[in-house]
Structure 1
Amino acid sequence: MTSKLRFLVTTGTISAAMLGANPAFAAGTSAGDTITNSVSVAYEVGGVAQTAETDSDTFTVDRKLDMTIAETDGAARPVFPGQTAADSPGNPPAYLTFTVTNDSNDEVDFALSATQLTTGTATPFSGTDDFDVSSLQIFVDSNGNGVYDAGVDTATFIDELGEDLSVEVFIVGDIPVSAVNGDSSGITLTASIRQGNDGVTGGAIGGAYSDDSGSANTEDGTVNAANIDNVFVNISDSATDNFVIDSANIAVAKTSTVLWDPINGSTNPKSIPGAVVEYCIAVTNSSTTTAATNVAITDNISALDVSFYGTTIPSGPATIPTANGVISATACDGTGTNADASGLGESGGTISGNLGDVAASSTETLLFRVTVD
């Protein structure tokens, strides 16, 4: 009599000998993959080897839906009043950067939304929330360079993001002109998982997944989408970043130095009639990040008891360092230059000049000379 031994294989404990399994990644085995486990049982009857009994079990891996989102820069994004989402010379777009990561074991879409913090709420990096940003828009990094490229990054949702992959998302907007240095604006990006299309179609945001965590496993060994249960781990997440106003902060200081008088020359000169006085206009930009551009200076001396000095000193114990009144954008100690200064001149008693750009944390000067009437 031949007896047969039946061996029950359960899917509750899977050994390392499983067949057909994919290598494990951070997100785990991909949803929809099938795992087949086969067993062979050898036995003898009366010392005679019998035909081995075999059996196998196949199940389909379910879908784990999980994600993370994080602010990318680790600090507030400095902007200046009037900065916009547009990209133009001297006016780069104002944007915040976030990283969205698909920790699921399947390809998914992400819906994106932005919310401004309530005024007075603490922002992540710069204290209270002081202003709102207008014309908020969300765009996905299309070329992977981590920088918002206006007109290039145009997608407004994340389409078909593969498992274990990340993508940068930008929130762009217009900064109000009324904002002042130190003001902050906090903005929260929320990303929510939506159905992916397994890379087949794409181009449209998928619908919401159903949560099958609390229901019985529908596993029947058939490979189809309806047979994959969805387990929600974290299907929506948020992160907050903020803009901070760090504009050019200009301060002006005007000083005068007597260089020469007709009695003492350049040795201890006094501001008597006929004396030559040098004015120094110092423009300091105390911002640590932002240059002041097109810095124009106007100084009207026509109503003062001085005259623009534009002649050579005829005699005296010593001459002043510069023999005429040509306006210059040199440092007040006579050293240094300002390469982008332009339009320096005098007309009708009005001194004018353009210092060009005054870089962050720098001082540039314009000097001119007068004689005391």
Structure 2
Amino acid sequence: MTGCLQPVGAIAKRGAMTLAATLSVMTLGTVGMSAANAAGTIAGTDILNTAQASYDGPGGPVVIDSNTVTITVDELLDVTVASADPGDIAVDSGATQQVTTYQVTNTGNGNEAFTLTADTAKGGDDFDTSNAVIYLDTDDNGVFDPGVDTIYSPGSNDPVLAPDASVNVFILSDIPVSATDGQRAEVELSAVAITGSGTPGTSFAGQGDGGGDAVVGSTGADGEASSFFLIQAAQVALVKSATVTDQFGGNQPVPGATITYQLVATITGSGSLTNLNITDDIPTDTTYTAESITLEGANLTDSDADADAGSFDGSEIAVSLGTVPGGQTRTITFQVTID
């Protein structure tokens, strides 16, 4: 956030500013009354102009000043809202309190308060999020911090921004369980100047900083931006097969024959499965063949104390596959001997 953030409360900022009000407003950002910003000269600045006439008199040159014309710069009401998310936010269906991030910037030339609104029911997307709650970035780090950042309450803590100052805003909302892989949802934040908004050029008499008028700028004093959620789900299908090799060169399941089990895990969807583990109990009436586990054709050890993915604990084999993205398969084999 550029600049500081203050709640509006019941403060009315309109009218001539007292010295105390001036000091309070200055905490919103470092603003020199003669400095220029994105919207031009600061509202309330007096533009002074005096003309002169000169002529040659009997005793030498004579200079006469005109009266001084003073024009107080009106407040220009402008705001921009931008998504601070780098792209679609990957989420799972049913996820709760998912965060979208925005930056609201006062591009006007006066200190202004803004009303914030979240819209999760935009047309043209695939699903709508629910239970939207707006938070203000209290610690100014650009990251939502539960228990630290402040819930926004319209009319109570509307952000007041100095010219060119910004505030980070978060919207937390829930993803419906009905959302499916590849679907997108739009979440929009809008910010509207409390003094007024509408058609550019619309004037609000006497309501600008410094006692001048407030005039709606090119943004209509109403800005909005959207972030998007993208469902990236993944599922796993596990298929098991067995091949028998007997000690006579055939494939009869007789005592002493070897069974080779194959487990094929197929991951589908556009997301990834995290911490995917495959386990298989050693069947009754069989004996596990030591060090027979393979993953993608590579031998794994039975020990769970080493770095590879396989282990055998005396009753089951286990293979830790880690994070596996959709569209991939993992093949595991191991052997037992029929007792």
Q: Same fold (TM over 0.5)?
A: yes
2:128 is the counterpart of 1:116: no
Equivalent residue, structure 2, for 1:321: none
2:81 is the counterpart of 1:69: yes
| Shift of residue 342, structure 1, vs aligned partner | 8.6
| Shift of residue 136, structure 1, vs aligned partner | 1.4
Equivalent residue, structure 2, for 1:95: 99
| Shift of residue 180, structure 1, vs aligned partner | 2.6
Q: Deviations over 1:185-230 (max 9, x none)?
A: 22222221225xxxxxxxxxxxx589995569769xxxx9572101
2:229 is the counterpart of 1:243: yes
Contact 1:212 1:229 in 2 (8 A): no
2:273 is the counterpart of 1:309: no
Q: Deviations over 1:305-327 (max 9, x none)?
A: xx4333xxxxxxxxxxxxx2468
Equivalent residue, structure 2, for 1:262: 247
| Shift of residue 372, structure 1, vs aligned partner | 4.9
Which has the higher mean CA deviation after the structures are superposed, 106-115 or 283-292?
A: 283-292
Q: Deviations over 1:253-296 (max 9, x none)?
A: 434455x64234xxxx7455333122232334455654334646
Partner Cα separation in structure 1 for residue 295 and residue 310 of structure 2: 15
Contact 1:82 1:174 in 2 (8 A): yes
Contact 1:212 1:230 in 2 (8 A): no
User: RMSD of the alignment, in Å?
Assistant: 3.8
2:138 is the counterpart of 1:136: no
The aligned amino acid for 1:27 is A
Partner Cα separation in structure 1 for residue 300 and residue 64 of structure 2: 95
| Shift of residue 79, structure 1, vs aligned partner | 0.4
| Shift of residue 83, structure 1, vs aligned partner | 1.9
2:45 is the counterpart of 1:80: no
* SS of the residue 2:274 aligns to: coil
Q: Which residue of the other structure, out of 210, 230, 236, is the alignment partner of 2:214? A: 230
Partner Cα separation in structure 1 for residue 292 and residue 146 of structure 2: 42
Which structure 2 segments of 5+ residues have no match? 1-31
**Structure with the greater alpha carbon radius of gyration:** 1
Q: Which residue of the other structure, out of 324, 333, 357, is the alignment partner of 2:297? A: 333
Identify which of structures 1 and 2 has the higher relative contact order when contacts are C-alpha pairs closer than 8 Å and 6+ apart.
Answer: 2
Which has the higher mean CA deviation after the structures are superposed, 333-342 or 28-37?
A: 333-342
| Shift of residue 47, structure 1, vs aligned partner | 7.2
Contact 1:31 1:64 in 2 (8 A): yes
The 1:27–1:246 alpha-carbon spacing in structure 2 relative to 1, beyond 3 Å, is same
The aligned amino acid for 1:368 is F
Equivalent residue, structure 1, for 2:337: 371
Contact 2:203 2:216 in 1 (8 A): no
| Shift of residue 141, structure 1, vs aligned partner | 2.2
Equivalent residue, structure 1, for 2:57: 45
The aligned amino acid for 1:355 is S
* SS of the residue 1:144 aligns to: coil
The aligned amino acid for 1:106 is G
Partner Cα separation in structure 2 for residue 30 and residue 169 of structure 1: 25
Equivalent residue, structure 2, for 1:185: 185
Partner Cα separation in structure 2 for residue 261 and residue 110 of structure 1: 80
Contact 2:43 2:109 in 1 (8 A): yes
| Shift of residue 122, structure 1, vs aligned partner | 1.9
| Matched residue count | 296
Q: Percent identity?
A: 30
Q: Which residue of the other structure, out of 316, 323, 334, is the alignment partner of 1:358? A: 323
Partner Cα separation in structure 2 for residue 340 and residue 159 of structure 1: 54
Partner Cα separation in structure 2 for residue 66 and residue 80 of structure 1: 37
What's the TM-score, normalizing by structure 1? 0.65
Equivalent residue, structure 2, for 1:107: 111
What's the TM-score, normalizing by structure 2? 0.71
* SS of the residue 2:40 aligns to: coil
Partner Cα separation in structure 2 for residue 293 and residue 334 of structure 1: 20
Partner Cα separation in structure 1 for residue 94 and residue 333 of structure 2: 31
Partner Cα separation in structure 2 for residue 214 and residue 104 of structure 1: 14
Q: Deviations over 1:231-269 (max 9, x none)?
A: 0122222223321211233232434455x64234xxxx7
Contact 2:135 2:169 in 1 (8 A): yes
Partner Cα separation in structure 2 for residue 212 and residue 247 of structure 1: 45
Which structure 1 segments of 5+ residues have no match? 1-19, 86-93, 124-128, 196-207, 311-323
Partner Cα separation in structure 1 for residue 87 and residue 35 of structure 2: 38
2:65 is the counterpart of 1:56: no
Equivalent residue, structure 2, for 1:252: 238
Contact 1:66 1:104 in 2 (8 A): yes
Equivalent residue, structure 1, for 2:11: none
Q: Deviations over 1:131-153 (max 9, x none)?
A: x3232111122333332222222
Q: Which residue of the other structure, out of 258, 261, 264, is the alignment partner of 1:282? A: 264
Which has the higher mean CA deviation after the structures are superposed, 146-155 or 102-111?
A: 146-155
Contact 2:111 2:209 in 1 (8 A): no
The 1:364–1:108 alpha-carbon spacing in structure 2 relative to 1, beyond 3 Å, is farther
| Shift of residue 59, structure 1, vs aligned partner | 2.0
Contact 1:70 1:100 in 2 (8 A): yes
